[in-house]
Chain A
């Protein structure tokens, strides 16, 4: 070798060295500098996350009865690479899960790391499949929300979606409390998705959700719901609402929105119209035979079904609207003209402002002229001469128009405010509506007169109940609510929920006078159909004509309080659009009597006297 050769070789060798060091630098960059970046990515590739479902907290009634709990269900899926006998797997799964063989075959033969065959599979079926130990078939435990009393207080409790997240009602309000935290098992897998044995798997344990105890009493709710159902059938009413509340602390014992819907099947429309009964039948049948849990699939099939039957085709939008209407909690989300029950408010305002005494006399000639308008009493022949007490008992409109006039706009508005009518009640379910009042400066004589007997204003039933509660409970404006306490089973801890209470600024004299008047309505006046022997019951009837007037649509209502001398429970019933007789005193008051007859002994409220 010549010297120049040696020099050339040395150059070549040095070039190799330089390139080598460049590559070592590159390795350093990849292995140390980018380790974290690629580390995250490689985990995504290599690790299989198996989530361990956390149980959602239960919802318990006032006595601890489960109103919402969890059912153990399973999700069946197949792992393509592990299936050894595809035909057998298809046979078994389609048979056991009652699925179309073609559909199952398509999924089993699909090249995917994991294909879900069916969710929400009953535990017994899932166990049967698991025991067959088919290779490549995975049975994963899951929880599904289950409501043992299906339609009970459906619009209050609400339900959860496929991801176990609350969609309406208390399930939404208390989502954070009820929702558990899913755990995860991370396992290393090879490229075929098969878990590698004997590798360290790290896991995060699931944390179950907390239980929620609510003020709803299963028995009281059932009584109320039954009564509402019955009167709705009898009166062919559009809907019947009942709220029962403890006036002293705002705990709601029952809230009925008849027709209720099935919480375990919340997407199936409950038709109220008889003309659609056949459609409903179709839907229910179809829904029952539905094996596919997927909601959109269900929709498609439903639509097809309807098309083939040549019945009314409901678009997806229409259906959603109908569902939302079905789920709507009207006790809270809808306002109405309260009518005569609102006279309690007018009377309270007038008495508090000393604009009227029970003995003041009035004359009802069947109507009263306010400015240039004649506003009639419900009794067109007129009540004649009567005291304020009698006027309250008779629910006489001219009396209240005059009382309202005496009290004046400013005072009336002051008491609307004191009784919490301008604000939301703060109830712990979503979707509460706001009341609608005239602007104070726009209220002239006519408006004042109509407002005095509960017209030309819109409030929610719960707002009325809350205002009246403050009149009879010693003057406290409570926050109506359902949630009572949060029970954390894991931490063995109970947390009582507290709610705002404020003073309605009522003097005692007004309160006792009002109680006396309310009792008189039931004992001697228009609410006598709510009278129960031996109990001192207060109340007020109402019959409000729905807007627009003249269509013959009414809301008959009755507000009852028992016992009036020491109120333990108050109930409000609204019968929407009853057929035939529509007077609140005639059709609504008896329902509350029936309910009270059942629940007063149940609540341990003793007879005040014996006759």
Chain B
């Protein structure tokens, strides 16, 4: 994007820009800005939604905000660091071995996932976290998303034509699905998101899209099978979705709907939500969007959705302008990841689909999630940074 580089800047900003221009590419400040905006909004909303339960259960109104703030800050530092590093080092071999970084990351992710199943920390009946002692907890499934994005991008990078055949897709798929299966044991939502990342990346990379029909059909059948023959728990979710107002298991969804409907056009005003006062359980988590609707109204909710769309647009721009496939596919992975989580989250909160716990990127409470998401943004920025001066913007 030559246009952008030639823009005149003030002396201070100029210096700042020069520092980042060292890579020779352009730095996507629009993306950076929109990410920082979302993280900022996220912190404000986490504070607003968690205030009540923080005071009630933790005795400190800033309890959740502090934890989220620390990890968000760390995530931003990590993002900037990652963005300054050439992402192509990921393609290098690990010293003294033939193993390359992406495979190592995926292997590490599988190991961590094994570990968490055996020795995880149990919250609300799900073993999803690894205790880091005084540093808090770490959710390896968030790490898995990044690992899978890098791994799949790498696999596509080394053999772009492999995906033109089913066999190539299956070869990429198998190690990822091992990870997915382990995650699905405790966290179906994340498993779905990772499957979407894998499928989305491969679909975009493949020239032959026909066989994906088969896999989509397979996926649909799997979902139907889960609902028909699966555990009572899944079936109950489906029933809750259909009978949200009468089903007693649909409490959270119904309270979320109450919150959304209370918002109106302009909302009740920041901090004025009533539904967060214990009605929507753990309002700062997956259902944070319902409180955003209540406090900021339809307008506020649309602004946030629009911000996500702009973010996706920027990532899309970086992807299509990327010089080479690895960087481009990383961006595709990031795009699919963010898009699927935003869409799933909003769809669940508005009861458009049966409930499944997906965090709203950058905004929902959850330190690992935000940090990992920021690292992914760092990767996208890094890709943008390496887009050479000679790069011609093919798609504008």
- B339 near A: Cβ within 8 Å? yes
Q: Give the docked Cα–Cα distance between A28 and B339 (Å).
A: 20
Given contacts A27-B346, A38-B258, A190-B278, 7 further A-B pairs with CB under 8 A are A1-B319, A1-B320, A6-B394, A8-B203, A9-B335, A19-B343, A196-B277
B347 touches A27 (CB 8 A): no
B339 touches A190 (CB 8 A): no
Which residues in A have their C-beta under 8 angstroms from that of B322?
Answer: 1
Closest chain-B Cβ to A502's Cβ sits at a distance in Å of: 61
A12 touches B204 (CB 8 A): yes
B298 touches A31 (CB 8 A): yes
Binary interface profile of A, 1-45, with partner B (CB < 8 Å = 1, else 0)?
Answer: 111111011101100110110011011101110110111011001
Interface size class of A (residues with CB under 8 A): 35 or more
Interface size class of B (residues with CB under 8 A): 35 or more
Partner of A6, one of B245, B277, B395: B395
B279 touches A24 (CB 8 A): no
Which residues in B have their C-beta under 8 angstroms from that of A45?
Answer: 255, 258, 279
B261 touches A37 (CB 8 A): yes
Partner of B257, one of A1, A4, A30: A30
Closest chain-B Cβ to A356's Cβ sits at a distance in Å of: 81
- A301 near B: Cβ within 8 Å? no
B293 touches A20 (CB 8 A): no
B264 touches A31 (CB 8 A): yes
Closest chain-A Cβ to B306's Cβ sits at a distance in Å of: 9
Which residues in B have their C-beta under 8 angstroms from that of A35?
Answer: 261-262, 264
A12 touches B293 (CB 8 A): no
Which residues in B have their C-beta under 8 angstroms from that of A24?
Answer: 302, 305
A1 touches B277 (CB 8 A): no
- B316 near A: Cβ within 8 Å? yes
Partner of A32, one of B52, B264, B323, B325: B264
Binary interface profile of B, 274-309, with partner A (CB < 8 Å = 1, else 0)?
Answer: 110111000000000000010001100110010011
Asked if A12 meets B302 with Cβ closer than 8 Å, knowing A35-B264, A38-B258, A190-B277, the reply is no
Q: Give the docked Cα–Cα distance between A19 and B343 (Å).
A: 7
A16 touches B352 (CB 8 A): no
- A192 near B: Cβ within 8 Å? yes
Q: Give the docked Cα–Cα distance between A46 and B319 (Å).
A: 48
- B200 near A: Cβ within 8 Å? yes
Q: Give the docked Cα–Cα distance between A17 and B316 (Å).
A: 12
Residue of B whose beta carbon sits closest to that of A42? B258
Taking beta carbons and an 8 Å cutoff, which residues of B are in contact with A? 52, 160, 200, 203-205, 207, 245, 255, 257-258, 260-265, 274-275, 277-279, 293, 297-298, 301-302, 305, 308-309, 312-313, 316, 319-325, 328, 332, 335-336, 339, 342-343, 346-347, 350, 352, 394-395
Which residues in A have their C-beta under 8 angstroms from that of B265?
Answer: 31-32
Q: Give the docked Cα–Cα distance between A13 and B338 (Å).
A: 11
Which residues in B have their C-beta under 8 angstroms from that of A1?
Answer: 319-325, 328
Partner of B339, one of A3, A16, A34, A39: A16
Q: Give the docked Cα–Cα distance between A41 and B301 (Å).
A: 22
B298 touches A27 (CB 8 A): yes
A30 touches B350 (CB 8 A): yes
Which residues in B have their C-beta under 8 angstroms from that of A13?
Answer: 312-313, 316, 335
User: Can you identify 18 A-B contacts, CB atoms within 8 angstroms?
Assistant: A4-B207, A5-B328, A10-B316, A12-B203, A17-B309, A23-B343, A24-B302, A27-B260, A30-B293, A31-B264, A39-B261, A41-B245, A42-B262, A42-B274, A45-B258, A190-B278, A191-B279, A192-B278
Closest chain-A Cβ to B93's Cβ sits at a distance in Å of: 25
B297 touches A31 (CB 8 A): yes
Partner of B352, one of A26, A28, A39: A26
- A188 near B: Cβ within 8 Å? yes
A32 touches B298 (CB 8 A): yes
Q: Give the docked Cα–Cα distance between A5 and B312 (Å).
A: 16
Which residues in B have their C-beta under 8 angstroms from that of A41?
Answer: 245, 258
B262 touches A39 (CB 8 A): yes
Residue of A whose beta carbon sits closest to that of B343? A19
Residue of B whose beta carbon sits closest to that of A1? B328
Partner of A26, one of B160, B274, B297, B350: B350
Q: Give the docked Cα–Cα distance between A9 and B322 (Å).
A: 12
Which residues in A have their C-beta under 8 angstroms from that of B352?
Answer: 23, 26
Q: Give the docked Cα–Cα distance between A34 and B309 (Å).
A: 26
Which residues in A have their C-beta under 8 angstroms from that of B301?
Answer: 27, 31
Which residues in A have their C-beta under 8 angstroms from that of B203?
Answer: 8, 12
Which residues in B have their C-beta under 8 angstroms from that of A34?
Answer: 261
B336 touches A27 (CB 8 A): no
B205 touches A12 (CB 8 A): no
Partner of A12, one of B160, B200, B395: B200
Q: Give the docked Cα–Cα distance between A37 and B297 (Å).
A: 17
Closest chain-B Cβ to A329's Cβ sits at a distance in Å of: 49
Which residues in A have their C-beta under 8 angstroms from that of B258?
Answer: 38, 41-42, 45
Partner of B274, one of A2, A37, A188: A188
Residue of B whose beta carbon sits closest to that of A47? B274
Which residues in B have their C-beta under 8 angstroms from that of A190?
Answer: 52, 274, 277-279
Which residues in B have their C-beta under 8 angstroms from that of A32?
Answer: 264-265, 298
Which residues in B have their C-beta under 8 angstroms from that of A46?
Answer: 274-275, 279
Which residues in B have their C-beta under 8 angstroms from that of A2?
Answer: 160, 325
Closest chain-B Cβ to A15's Cβ sits at a distance in Å of: 9
Q: Give the docked Cα–Cα distance between A5 and B308 (Å).
A: 22
Q: Give the docked Cα–Cα distance between A304 and B335 (Å).
A: 75
Q: Give the docked Cα–Cα distance between A196 and B268 (Å).
A: 15
B320 touches A191 (CB 8 A): no
Asked if A31 meets B261 with Cβ closer than 8 Å, knowing A1-B320, A191-B277, the reply is yes
Residue of A whose beta carbon sits closest to that of B207? A4
Residue of A whose beta carbon sits closest to that of B205? A5
Residue of A24, A31, A46, A196 contacting most chain B CB atoms (<10 Å): A31
Which residues in B have their C-beta under 8 angstroms from that of A42?
Answer: 258, 261-262, 274-275
Residue of A whose beta carbon sits closest to that of B345? A23
Which residues in A have their C-beta under 8 angstroms from that of B205?
Answer: 5, 8
B335 touches A12 (CB 8 A): yes
Q: Which of A525-566 contact B (CB under 8 A)?
A: none
Q: Give the docked Cα–Cα distance between A38 and B258 (Å).
A: 6
Closest chain-A Cβ to B280's Cβ sits at a distance in Å of: 9
Asked if A5 meets B335 with Cβ closer than 8 Å, knowing A30-B261, A192-B278, the reply is no
B335 touches A31 (CB 8 A): no
Which residues in B have their C-beta under 8 angstroms from that of A23?
Answer: 305, 343, 346-347, 350, 352
Which residues in A have their C-beta under 8 angstroms from that of B325?
Answer: 1-2, 5
Partner of A9, one of B260, B278, B298, B320: B320
Q: Give the docked Cα–Cα distance between A607 and B22 (Å).
A: 127
Q: Give the docked Cα–Cα distance between A9 and B329 (Å).
A: 10
Closest chain-B Cβ to A23's Cβ sits at a distance in Å of: 5
Which residues in B have their C-beta under 8 angstroms from that of A192?
Answer: 278
Which residues in B have their C-beta under 8 angstroms from that of A191?
Answer: 277-279
Which residues in A have their C-beta under 8 angstroms from that of B293?
Answer: 27, 30-31
Closest chain-A Cβ to B98's Cβ sits at a distance in Å of: 28
A28 touches B298 (CB 8 A): yes
A38 touches B257 (CB 8 A): yes
Asked if A20 meets B309 with Cβ closer than 8 Å, knowing A1-B325, A6-B394, A9-B204, the reply is yes
Which residues in A have their C-beta under 8 angstroms from that of B347?
Answer: 23, 26
Q: Give the docked Cα–Cα distance between A34 and B245 (Å).
A: 13
Q: Give the docked Cα–Cα distance between A191 and B293 (Å).
A: 19
Asked if A38 meets B298 with Cβ closer than 8 Å, knowing A1-B319, A8-B204, A31-B293, the reply is no
Q: Give the docked Cα–Cα distance between A489 and B200 (Å).
A: 77
Q: Which of A39-86 contact B (CB under 8 A)?
A: 39, 41-42, 45-46
Which residues in A have their C-beta under 8 angstroms from that of B207?
Answer: 4
Which residues in B have their C-beta under 8 angstroms from that of A3?
Answer: 394
Closest 4 CB pairs of A and B: A191-B278, A38-B261, A190-B277, A8-B204
Q: Give the docked Cα–Cα distance between A17 and B323 (Å).
A: 25
Residue of B whose beta carbon sits closest to that of A12? B204
Q: Which of A370-404 contact B (CB under 8 A)?
A: none
Which residues in B have their C-beta under 8 angstroms from that of A17?
Answer: 309
Residue of B whose beta carbon sits closest to that of A26? B350
Closest chain-A Cβ to B395's Cβ sits at a distance in Å of: 5
